[in-house]
Amino acid sequence: MSIDALAKNKKSWDEVAPRFFGRNPLPEYGPLAPREDELNLLGDVADAKVLDIGCGSGHSLQYMDKRGAAELWGVDLSKTQIETAKGLLADSNAPVHLFESPMEQNPGLPEEYFDIVYSIYALGWTTDLDKTLANVAKYLKKGGLFIFSWEHPLHSRASFENGALHFNKSYHEEGPYDHEAWHAPAIMQQYKVSTYLNTLISHGFCIERVIEEVSLTEQDRERHANRWYSCEKAMMLPTTLIVKSRKM
């Protein structure tokens, strides 16, 4: 686990958090990706104890509250995000427990306790994928669900120019890289699809579903015009990887 990367990412997210208030939360899994309404990966969450890894502004936990979850737990590296989530969830029906912490560390979460752990467009920020998924396995009850979404590993490897894809980096290359999408310096991680799946398997998860489809409705096209996740590029390459797994 890189302490330097965690410190840099924490500072970066504390600065940019307002830009991502309510950005692509459940029932969305990511930009130009199918929604939970269509996929039904979570099933009935009524009375479930749920944990959000990288909970951000708290909107996905708010969605879980509206669907009847029994307990709402969240972890996020950013103090700004946690304070925002506390405000958003102040009037929730279910009790709320939020922790300002890296996902690579257990800040005091109970083990073998949760029915559902999920992470919506946050897992790629981990500095140690193996440690993070080991933690998820410890948090979950036997038979519990872990669902995550993240930018598809192919998406950032290619650019779309003049109607064609141009690969800028080898898909096989993994590890940290400088994130340049905003001015505050940050470190992200690049992994292959197989690395995500095999790491889950190594920690006792059974992979139930892998989704790479895109959603290109008129609403999606309007929302993502002239943005990083363009519809034109999505017609040739998936934007989002969604994985549903279960602790055996």
Give pLDDT, residue 1: 57
Residue 180 makes CB contacts below 8 A (sequence gap 6+) with: none
Give φ, ψ of 146 to 5 degrees: -125, 120
Structural domain for 180, as ranges: 3-18+38-247
Give pLDDT, residue 182: 66
Residue 63 forms part of a structural domain: yes
Number of domains comprising the chain = 1
Residue 181 forms part of a structural domain: yes
Residue 27 forms part of a structural domain: no
Q: How far apart are CA 189 and CA 192, in angstroms?
A: 10
CB 119, CB 149: distance < 8 Å: yes
Residue 169 forms part of a structural domain: yes
Residue 157 forms part of a structural domain: yes
Alpha-carbon radius of gyration of the chain: 17
Per the confidence metrics, is the pTM higher than 0.75?
yes
Give pLDDT, residue 218: 75
Residue 33 forms part of a structural domain: no
Smallest Cα–Cα separation from 73: which of 108, 22, 121, 46? Answer: 108
Q: What is the pLDDT along the chain (248 residues), one digit of tens a residue?
A: 566 888 888 888 888 878 888 788 999 999 999 999 999 999 999 999 999 999 999 999 999 999 999 999 999 999 999 999 999 999 999 999 999 999 999 999 999 999 999 999 999 999 999 999 999 999 999 999 999 999 999 998 988 888 888 998 999 999 988 877 667 788 889 999 999 999 999 999 999 999 999 988 777 666 665 567 888 889 899 999 999 999 99
Residue 32 forms part of a structural domain: no
Residue 59: CATH number of its domain: 3.40.50.150
Number of residues written out for the chain: 248
